């Protein structure tokens, strides 16, 4: 069974990802992982930290001569800014830095301070930071590598930033490079220009912007997931994984909320049969029915709220004096939606890798690929 664990703080010495359950023989290199981390760093609206920080990747275990061994894969992503933060974030007892006592509205600060009985928001925000998703990118990169063995590809892109919405064009399975070349990860050039302008305007005004990302998974065979148990439904697992990304406040599969306003005759996808087998002329269900993939492209969206770290902080309360105070100002992005599209892609890839491993589990990558192909052959004769 695939699972992963991350550890580390935003300004700590590094982030660690441990991925367990990968089959042996899967090609994995530090360069491959670094390339995925670079995709996460790019995008209009990122803050100064993304310009000065580089993700230094080191594979500590589970890989030999560029291939997985079947044991847990351990990867550390070192923080190149650690020397600047060592005094404040050291694990060794020492002088106590000035505490951050003004929690930011919209962040984990206050709830975490209450939960863990601390008057210093840094005890909470360092782990609650979106920086943790760099470790998830490691797990996502490994998951995408496994899915590639089964002919499955996942791509995330941006469909809206602030009040600007794209025209609805969807990237194909081979369009990752095209999406990556857009500064806002949007294929609609007019919308992309307007999105960039909206981000620049928010930056000038000391504000932030949210938006909507979409993830598509190509080549997933029907039947992945389960209708039998609530915690194995594919749509539920995907929604939970994407919702776990910091800042995501809503998830929909397929037409989601729009379908709720339609009659059933206009909400479901008709089934036909042709030369290629069972077909559907539409994909309103987003490739999932009854908790299982149905063979169509899996499509889901996540809505990201504006970031809570602002240069013009929202009014808060000092947790020590209990007086009104400006929220703590932390170096942050203006808009992290393009980055969120990459992280959502990684989380979708992870869930699909978990469920396909459950369905086609094998100890080697070659056996996994053969099991998937045998299943596809069986479906072809249905």
Q: Domain containing 227 — which CATH number?
A: 3.60.150.10
* Strand, coil or helix: 71: coil
Residue 250 pLDDT: 97
**In the block, residue with structure tokens 């699972």:** 3
322 has pLDDT over 80: yes
pLDDT in tens, 197-236: 999 999 999 899 999 999 999 999 999 999 999 999 999 9
Residue 309 pLDDT: 82
Number of domains in the chain: 1
Residue 164 pLDDT: 97
Contact 140, 352 (CB under 8 A): no
CA of residue 31 relative to chain centroid, distance: 20
88 has pLDDT over 90: no
Contact 178, 186 (CB under 8 A): no
Burial class (CB in 10 A: 0-12, 13-18, 19+), 30: middle
pLDDT in tens, 50-75: 555 567 899 999 999 999 999 999 99
Distance CA 122, CA 99 (A): 7
Query: Which residues have CB under 8 Å from 174's CB, separation 6+?
Result: 153
Residue 228 pLDDT: 95
Mean pLDDT within 153-181: 95
Looking at the whole model, is its pTM more than 0.85? yes
Domain residues for 202?
3-380
């Amino acid at each position: 069974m695939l699972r992963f664990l991350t550890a580390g703080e935003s300004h700590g010495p590094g982030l660690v990802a441990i991925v367990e359950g990968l089959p042996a023989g899967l090609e994995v290199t530090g360069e491959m992982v670094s390339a995925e981390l670079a995709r996460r760093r790019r995008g209009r609206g990122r803050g100064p930290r993304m310009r000065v920080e580089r993700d230094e990747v080191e594979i500590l275990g589970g890989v030999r001569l560029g291939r997985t061994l079947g044991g847990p894969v351990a990867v550390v992503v070192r923080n190149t800014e650690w020397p600047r933060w060592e005094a404040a974030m050291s694990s060794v007892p020492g002088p106590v830095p000035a505490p951050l006592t003004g929690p930011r509205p919209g962040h984990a600060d206050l709830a975490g301070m209450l939960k863990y009985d601390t008057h210093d928001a840094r005890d909470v925000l360092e782990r609650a930071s979106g920086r943790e998703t760099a470790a998830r990118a490691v797990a996502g990169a490994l998951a995408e590598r496994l899915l590639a063995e089964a002919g499955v590809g996942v791509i995330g892109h941006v469909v809206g930033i602030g009040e600007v919405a794209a025209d609805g064009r969807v990237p194909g399975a081979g369009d990752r490079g095209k999406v990556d070349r857009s500064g806002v990860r949007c294929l609609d050039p007019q919308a992309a220009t307007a999105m960039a302008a909206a981000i620049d305007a928010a930056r000038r005004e000391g504000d932030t912007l949210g938006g909507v990302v979409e993830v598509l998974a190509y080549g997933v065979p029907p039947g992945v997931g389960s209708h039998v148990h609530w915690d194995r439904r594919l749509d539920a697992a995907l929604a939970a994984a994407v919702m776990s990304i910091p800042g995501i406040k809503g998830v929909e599969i397929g037409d989601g909320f729009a379908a709720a306003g339609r009659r059933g005759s206009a909400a479901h996808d008709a089934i036909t049969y042709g030369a290629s087998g069972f077909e559907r002329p539409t994909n309103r269900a987003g490739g999932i029915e009854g908790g299982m993939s149905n063979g169509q492209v899996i499509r889901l969206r996540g809505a990201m709220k504006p970031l809570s770290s602002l240069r013009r902080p929202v009014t808060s309360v000092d947790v020590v004096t209990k007086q009104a105070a400006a929220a703590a100002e932390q170096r942050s992005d203006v808009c992290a939606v393009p980055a969120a599209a990459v992280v959502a892609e990684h989380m979708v890839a992870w869930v699909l890798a978990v469920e396909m491993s459950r369905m086609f589990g094998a100890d080697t990558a070659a056996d996994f690929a053969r099991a998937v192909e045998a299943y596809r052959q069986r479906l072809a004769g249905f």
